């Protein structure tokens, strides 16, 4: 965790160096004024208060005492001002750091390859954004200033004690060292518990999100009781890890507090009295009061520091995960060629393409095919045959193991990914719409599109009928993933979005799988109009929707079994014929 702490401090100081050092200076001033006030008690008692007992001119004595109180007032005022300034500086530094941290995390996440999201769950990623950043916020706003203040206070108190009486001060230092050593040993043993707590918290959040989004399925299959049991198991696991982590903090705080009461108050009260009675080390009543106050006060920063160690260790565990996410390599893009809209004819070639998501498990094996400009290519096959993988490779979501993909006889790897993807419109089986109006979602891939063009795109996709029946029409506000629309309506909108993108190459991955037959016919009409003059790759389970394709590719276990149009493949009575007879692939 040392590396995480160093990196976190560098992250803070590189952005908010001024507020960081203002905070540290204020912490030092506040700690020193507090210690200085207690140290000043010795002079007040011995030089001003005690002499008043025998002094004949009480008025002069009180006047001198009031003058002597001025430095004490100055120290208190300085301490209060330092704390006020510290609060403002800490607020600026904390909020600013959180803003920068979340921004950097989101910016980096947006540049991750698709493969990252295949290997990291949503709950895991969201835990970094919420739990881990919150832990760091608490560390910056409370933990770090309090620990620095405690350390400064301890050092200042030790110096003040040495100035009062060296032998007693050395004994106090030894006792503090022993308490700190024991505390660090206890906290050090809890490191795994802190990590487990954060991981279990992320797992619990992920489970809640998953069950929340799948409530219909849960209820249909009567899994409520089992979900409750699984939640209790995960919640209990979190409780145990949290208890294991927090119990160390409780033990340390209790031990420190009681040790302070016994050692720094009872023991030194007795020792100081002995020193005063015997006149050892120049101890006086004033020095005794100051020594007892300082020694008892020393216990406060020790307890404070030990109490903040829990939050700091938790924060550093979170910082480790955050920096691990920030260190993830962004999506590589070694392409240099640009493509202007309208310069693409749309010929796509796959030459001996081999690909595997996991080394050793090949998904595509020597795939070769050519899609001429304007052709409609249908890809069919059983689940896991590699249909969607081909479309992922066209977008360069993943890079090939071997082989080559060409666009207009130019390797797609030579194009900038942004430019390449601008030439491809896509409609997925699982629709993904965003919070905003219907118009906002239609123009998502083409932000400069006018309202009139968006409406024409919706008409082409046969989505205008249901949109115009909505209370606010095209200005209807959609909730998260358009949950206020029916599934078929969401699919129609995603198709309208692809129409509006006006890309020369189209990918339709089960584009009509979520709609009823009547809606499917409307969509098919719109798709037929849309695909004219565009190279289209259509993946469909309902083979009746691809009869008019120029060519149909039949895949099986990552290999091409058949290649031809509907009539040719039906005459062959091979794999396609069998699939078509069953009604779907």
The tens digit of pLDDT for each residue in 265-294 reads 778 888 888 888 888 888 888 888 888 888
Average pLDDT over residues 529-549: 81
Pair 84, 325: CB distance under 8 Å: no
CATH architecture of 2-326: Up-down Bundle (1.20)
- What was the pLDDT predicted at 27? 92
Third-level CATH fold of 348-582: Rossmann fold (3.40.50)
Is residue 180 pLDDT above 80, yes or no? no
The tens digit of pLDDT for each residue in 147-179 reads 888 889 888 888 888 888 889 888 888 877 777
The DSSP element (H or E) to which 411 belongs, if any, is strand 410-411
- What was the pLDDT predicted at 514? 55
CB atoms within 10 A of CB 110: 9
Pair 383, 558: CB distance under 8 Å: no
- What was the pLDDT predicted at 428? 80
Instruction: Output the CA angle 56-58-62, nearest 5 degrees.
Output: 145
The DSSP element (H or E) to which 426 belongs, if any, is strand 424-427
- What was the pLDDT predicted at 262? 67
Q: Which residues of 400-437 are buried (b: 16+ CB within 10 A; e: fewer)?
A: beebebbbbeeebbebebebbbbbbbbbbbebebeeeb
Greatest Cα pair distance, the chain, in angstroms, is 128
Is residue 213 pLDDT above 70, yes or no? no
| Residue 165 to residue 185: CA distance in whole angstroms | 30
The residue written with tokens 């193991």 in the block is 401
Is residue 584 pLDDT above 60, yes or no? no
According to DSSP, the residues that pair with 260 across neighbouring strands are none
Q: Provide the token pair at 67.
A: 């003058």
Beta-strand pair 410-411/402-407:
antiparallel
The C-alpha R_g of the chain, in whole angstroms, comes to 36
Average pLDDT over residues 542-568: 88
CA distances to 30, 37, 58, 251 from 45, rounded to whole Å, are: 23, 13, 15, 38
Average pLDDT, the chain: 84
CA distances to 92, 180, 276 from 18, rounded to whole Å, are: 10, 31, 48
- What was the pLDDT predicted at 515? 61
Is residue 439 pLDDT above 90, yes or no? yes
Percentage of the chain with pLDDT > 90?
29
Is residue 585 pLDDT above 60, yes or no? no
Backbone angles phi, psi at 367, to 5 degrees: -80, 125
Beta-strand pair 348-355/402-407:
antiparallel
Q: Which residue has the higher pLDDT, 482 or 554?
A: 554
Is residue 134 pLDDT above 80, yes or no? yes
- What was the pLDDT predicted at 188? 62
- Ramachandran assignment for 91, one of left (phi > 0), alpha (psi -120 to 50 degrees), beta (any other): alpha
Where are the domains positioned within the chain?
Answer: 2-326, 348-582
Is residue 135 pLDDT above 80, yes or no? yes
Q: In what order do the strands lie in the sheet with 376-381?
A: 424-427, 505-509, 535-539, 376-381, 551-556, 559-564
| Residue 468 to residue 354: CA distance in whole angstroms | 47
| Residue 246 to residue 323: CA distance in whole angstroms | 25
According to DSSP, the residues that pair with 584 across neighbouring strands are 542
């Amino acid at each position: 965790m040392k590396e995480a702490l160093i990196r976190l401090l560098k992250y803070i100081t590189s952005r908010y160096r001024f507020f960081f050092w203002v905070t540290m200076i204020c912490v030092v001033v506040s700690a020193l004024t507090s210690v200085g006030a207690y140290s000043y008690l010795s002079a007040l008692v011995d030089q001003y208060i005690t002499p008043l007992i025998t002094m004949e001119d009480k008025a002069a004595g009180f006047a001198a005492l009031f003058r002597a109180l001025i430095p004490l007032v100055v120290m208190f005022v300085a301490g209060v001002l330092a704390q006020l300034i510290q609060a403002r500086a800490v607020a600026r530094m904390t909020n600013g750091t959180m803003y920068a941290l979340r921004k950097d995390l989101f910016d980096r996440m947006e540049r991750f390859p698709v493969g990252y999201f295949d290997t990291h769950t949503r709950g895991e990623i969201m835990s970094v954004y919420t739990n881990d950043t919150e832990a760091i916020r608490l560390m910056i706003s409370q933990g770090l200033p309090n620990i620095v203040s405690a350390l400064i206070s301890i050092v200042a108190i030790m110096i003040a004690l040495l100035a009062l009486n060296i032998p007693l001060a050395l004994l106090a230092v030894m006792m503090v060292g022993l308490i700190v050593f024991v505390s660090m040993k206890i906290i050090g043993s809890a490191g795994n518990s802190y990590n487990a707590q954060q991981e279990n918290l992320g797992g619990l959040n992920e489970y809640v999100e998953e069950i929340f989004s799948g409530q219909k399925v849960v209820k249909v299959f009567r899994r409520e009781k089992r979900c409750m049991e699984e939640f209790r198991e995960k919640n209990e696991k979190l409780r145990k890890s949290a208890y294991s982590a927090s119990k160390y903090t409780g033990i340390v705080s209790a031990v420190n507090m009681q040790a302070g009461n016994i050692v720094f108050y009872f023991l030194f009260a007795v020792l100081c009295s002995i020193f005063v009675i015997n006149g050892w080390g120049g101890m006086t009543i004033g020095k005794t009061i100051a020594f007892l106050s300082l020694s008892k006060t020393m216990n406060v920063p020790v307890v404070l520091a030990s109490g903040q160690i829990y939050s700091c260790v938790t924060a550093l565990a979170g910082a480790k995960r955050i920096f691990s996410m920030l260190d993830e390599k962004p999506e590589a893009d070694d392409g240099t060629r640009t493509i202007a809209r309208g310069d693409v004819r749309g010929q796509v070639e796959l030459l001996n393409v081999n690909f595997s998501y996991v080394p050793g498990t090949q998904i595509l094996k020597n795939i070769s095919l050519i899609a001429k400009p304007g052709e409609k290519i249908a890809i069919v096959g059983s689940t896991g045959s590699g249909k969607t993988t081909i479309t992922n490779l066209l977008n360069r979501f993943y890079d090939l193991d071997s082989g080559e993909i060409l666009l207009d006889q130019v390797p797609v790897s030579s194009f900038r990914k942004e430019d390449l993807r601008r030439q491809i419109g896509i409609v997925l089986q699982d629709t993904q719409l965003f919070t905003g109006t219907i118009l906002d979602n239609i123009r998502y891939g083409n932000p400069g599109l006018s309202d009139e063009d968006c409406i024409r795109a919706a008409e082409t996709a046969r989505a205008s009928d249901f949109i115009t029946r909505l209370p606010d029409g095209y200005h209807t506000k959609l909730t998260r993933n358009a949950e206020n629309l029916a599934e078929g309506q969401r699919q129609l909108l995603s198709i309208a979005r692809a129409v509006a993108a006006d890309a020369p190459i189209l990918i339709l991955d089960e584009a009509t799988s979520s709609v009823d037959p009547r809606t499917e016919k409307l969509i098919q009409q719109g798709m037929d109009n849309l695909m004219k003059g565009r190279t289209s790759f259509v993946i469909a389970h309902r083979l009746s929707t691809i009869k008019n394709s120029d060519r149909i590719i039949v895949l099986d276990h990552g290999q091409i079994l058949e290649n031809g149009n509907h009539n040719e493949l039906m005459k062959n009575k091979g794999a396609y014929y069998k699939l078509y007879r069953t009604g779907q692939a």
